[in-house]
Structure 1
Amino acid sequence: MDKLTALSAFAALSQGNRLDAFRLLIKAGDQGLAAGEIAEALEVKQNTMSASLSVLHQAGLVRNERQGRSIRYFVDMVGLRGLLAFLMEDCCGGNPDLCRPILDDIACC
């Protein structure tokens, strides 16, 4: 991931509803959530949530899939990995032992 793409991702996450939606989608995993489900869970108007999800999609952090009349959203794991790799690129001056606690904290069990 390059710097401009990372900045776009950070900008997308810099608004409360978008960050909450992104974290909710991370929690949902492979099941994802419909836009209406996200809006309901976060108590946000559906059109506001659709706009927020669009920003996250354009930043490469979520992907969507049409299912009948609704759109289901999922975390884009490639985008998330790219952002995390960008942040950790020069971690710990080449000493991987210093990075291990961070990686252990973010690793799925």
Structure 2
Amino acid sequence: MIKTFAISLVLFMTSFLSPVQEQYTVKMAFEGLEDGVYYFSSEDDDFSTFSFDNIDKSLASKYNFSDRKLIGSSFEVTYEAEQLTNEDEEEYEVLTLKDIVKIEKK
């Protein structure tokens, strides 16, 4: 009984240490590629800029993002936002590009 309680307590406590990950799919405009970081801006009212330095290699070759002709193009972007904590107990967010589909103009 005590062993089961101890294991449950350890699992409960470590669940708080694991990073929180959420996945989103948003329409965004490509803003450019610089030093391996992909920049997009949301096409919502706030025009927030998102930077993705974590990207799957198969996605990186899906479109030629080094081609400046893609700047301003609309994409449906699926990304994962992971909340992490550094050694100073400060939280920060890491964005990972999971999928991207170009939205063709009609």
Q: Give the TM interval when normalised to the shorter protein.
A: under 0.3
Q: TM-score normalised to the size of structure 1?
A: 0.26
More helix by share: 1
More strand by share: 2
Please say which structure displays the higher CA radius of gyration. 2
